[in-house]
Amino acid sequence: MGSITRKYKMNRNDGKAVPRKKPMTMTEILTSTSSTLATIMFAWSIIRQYSPQGLRQYFQTYFSKFMDYIYPSPYVRIAIYEFVGDRFSRNKAFAAVEAYLSDKLSDDAKRLKAEVGESKNNFSLSMDEYERVTDEYENAEFWWTSSKIAGSATKSLSLYPDTDRRFYQLKFHKKHRELVKESYLKHVLKEGKEIRVNRRRRKLYTNGTGNRWLIHRSTTWSEVYFEHPASFDTIGMDPIKKQEIIEDLLTFSQSKEYYARIGKAWKRGYLLYGPPGTGKSTMIAAMANLLNYDVYDLELTAVKDNTELRKLLIETTSKSIIVIEDIDCSLEFTKQRKIVEKKSSNEEKEKKKAIKEPKKEEEEVKSKVTLSGLLNFIDGIWSACGGERLIVFTTNHLEKLDPALIRRGRMDKHIELSYCSYEAFKVLAKNYLNVETHELFEEIKELFNNVKMSPADVAENLMPKSREEAEEHALRRLIGSLEETKRVAEEKKKEKSKETSPPKIVDEKERPSEIVKEEESSLE
C-alpha cells in the first residue's frame, strides 16, 4: 500500500483484521453537507415548479415538521392572514398589524412597498414580501415577517379565485408566550387601530331609498370624503361659549373608562337650535374636524320604518357623529302626539274615494318611523351597539319638538346659536378681512346692540366683491346693511303697535252733525 499506513483491529468473532475508519475532516464534512443540501434544493425546486399546489403545500408542511423534529426550535410563530372565513372577508387584525408595523419601517425595513394614500397627495408605505422588522416590548424582542402563499396559476371557475394569500408572521421566544397572549397582541391591535383612525380620510355618509334589491349593496349608507374646512377658530360666536363646547367635546372623547364605570353607553346627544343662518351645520363640521370623526347625515323621510332605522344604526361605526338636521321638519315629532283634525264632508268623500283607488308609489315608500322608534334609536338598547358616537339634532323651532325627544339623557347638551354679537363679528372680520381693529368698529358695535342679524348675513356683507376691494368698503357695506335692518325692524314695530292699539272713542259732541243725522235715519 506504499507509504500509506493503515491501522487494523481484530474482529472478536473470526479474528480477521479490519481497517479502522479515519475521522472525516472539516473539508469532507462541508463537501458532503453542501452536496446533500444542493440535492435537496434541486429536488425542492423541481417539486415547486412541476407539482400541483396541494402537493407543494403537503411537502412544505411535513418538511417543516421534519426539520422541527431534527432541530427543535425554541421559537413560536403566529400567522395573521389578510382574509379569513368562507367569503374571504378582510381580517381586521391584519389591517391593524399593517398600520402598526408601518411606524417601525423607518428604523429596520430595507425593502418597502409604496402606494398612493387616500389623500392622493402622499405615499403609504408598507413592508415588501419576505421583509422582516424587529419590535421591542417590555424588554422582549419580536420579529415580524411579511409573507404570502402563492395562489394557483390555473383559472378557477369559482366566484372566489385562488389568489395569493398575504399574511404577517410573528416570531418570538417561547418564554414570552404569556406576554404575547396577555398584553403584546392587545398592544399591537390598539396602536394599529389608532394609527388607522388618525391616517384615514374622514367620510360623510348619507342614507337614501335607492335600489334595495341590488345584490352588491352591502350597506344602506352612501359615502363621500368629508372635506369641510370649518373649525372652531372660524366660527363666529361668543368665545366663552365656544370654549365651553370645545371642553365638553374633548372630555367626552377621552371618557371611555368613565362611561364604562357608570354603566352608560359611550354616546352623547347635542341639540343645536336657533334662527336660520346662525351656523348649526357649520358647528357640526367643526365638531367633526375637532374630534376627527366621520359624519352620518340621516334623512328620516327616506327611512322606511323603525326596523330599517335600527339597521342604519348598526351599520354606523365608532368615532362618528349621527346628524338629523331640521328634525322638526323631518317627521311629525311635535308636542301633540295625536292631532285630531276636523274635516269637511267633501274631504271625507275624497278620503273614501282614495281608499278604493290603488295605492300610488309615493304612498308605498312613505316613512313609517314613529316617535317611539326614534327614541329607541337615540337611547334604547340598540343605541349601545357601538361606542364613541355623538347624536346631533338641529332645529329652527325648539318649541315644536316633543319634550320626550329633547330631554336630558337623550339630548344631553342644548346649544343655542343666536344672532351675531359684536364679539362674534370680530371673529368674522378676522376670518374674512384679516382685520382685528378698525375705526369703524365702534359704530358697528353700537349697531349690534340694537340690531339682530345672523352670522351668515354678516359674513356675506364682509366677503369682498372684487379683488381690489378694501376692507373699509366691506365694513361700510355691513354698516349700511345693519342700518337698513334697523329701519325695517322699527317700521314693523310701529305697524304692529297700530294694529294692537285699542280703537279711539269719539265724543258725541265732537262728531259732525251730518254723520249723526245719517245714523239716526238708518236706525229708523
Q: pLDDT tens track of the chain, all 524 residues?
A: 444 444 445 555 555 555 556 677 777 777 777 787 778 777 767 766 666 666 666 666 676 666 666 667 788 999 998 887 655 577 888 889 988 888 776 667 777 777 766 555 566 777 777 788 889 999 999 999 888 876 655 545 455 555 667 889 999 999 999 999 999 999 999 998 888 888 788 899 998 654 444 444 445 789 899 989 999 998 988 889 999 999 999 999 999 899 999 988 899 999 999 999 899 999 999 999 999 999 999 998 888 888 888 888 888 888 999 999 988 887 665 544 444 344 444 555 555 555 445 444 444 456 678 888 888 888 777 777 778 899 999 999 888 888 888 888 889 999 999 999 999 999 999 999 999 999 999 999 999 988 999 999 999 999 988 888 888 999 999 999 999 999 988 888 888 777 776 655 555 555 555 544 555 555 44
Short-list 192, 199, 220, CA closest to 98: 192
What is d(CA 296, CA 202) in angstroms, rounded to the nearest whole number? 11
Cα separation, 113 vs 118, in Å, equals 15
What is the predicted pLDDT for the residue at 6? 47
pLDDT (0 to 100) of residue 289: 93
E strands, 242-386, are 267-273, 294-297, 320-324
Distances in Å between the Cα of 333 and the Cα atoms of 227, 327, 353, 408 are: 32, 8, 29, 17
Which residue type, as a one-letter code, is found at position 256?
K
Are 400 and 332 a contacting pair, CB within 8 Å? Answer: no
Let me know if 343 is exposed, middle or buried by CB neighbors in 10 A (0-12, 13-18, 19+).
Answer: exposed
The separation between CA 331 and the C-alpha centre of its own chain, rounded to angstroms, equals 26
Contact 377, 371 (CB under 8 A): no
3-state SS record for 79-119:
EEECEECCCCEECHHHHHHHHHHHCCCCCCCCCEEEEECCC
Rounded distance between C-alpha atoms, residue 347 and residue 151, angstroms: 70
Q: pLDDT at position 116, please? A: 65
C-alpha–C-alpha distance, residues 152 and 146, integer Å: 20
Q: State how far the Cα of 479 lies from the Cα of 438, in Å rounded to an integer.
A: 13
Q: What are the respective helix, strand and coil percentages of the chain, to the nearest 5?
A: 45, 15, 40
Q: What is the pLDDT of residue 364?
A: 45
The pLDDT value given to residue 361? 44
Instruction: Give the C-alpha distances (Å, rounded to integers) separating 381 from 274, 372, 377, 473.
Output: 31, 13, 8, 57
Q: How many residues does the chain have?
A: 524
Residue with cell 407539482: 51
Q: Which pLDDT score, from 0 to 100, does residue 489 have?
A: 86
Q: 408 phi and psi, to 5 degrees?
A: -65, 140
Give CA–CA dist 168/145, Å, rounded.
Answer: 6
**Quick one: DSSP state of residue 130?**
T
d(Cα 459, Cα 478) in Å, to the nearest integer? 9
Residue type at 238?
Answer: D
- Rounded Cα distance between 10 and 39, Å, is 38
Which pTM value belongs to this model? Answer: 0.68
DSSP assignment of 215-278: TT---SEEEEE------TTT--S-HHHHHHHHHHHHHHHT-HHHHHHHT--SEEEEEEE-STTS
13, burial (CB in 10 Å: exposed 0-12, middle 13-18, buried 19+) = exposed
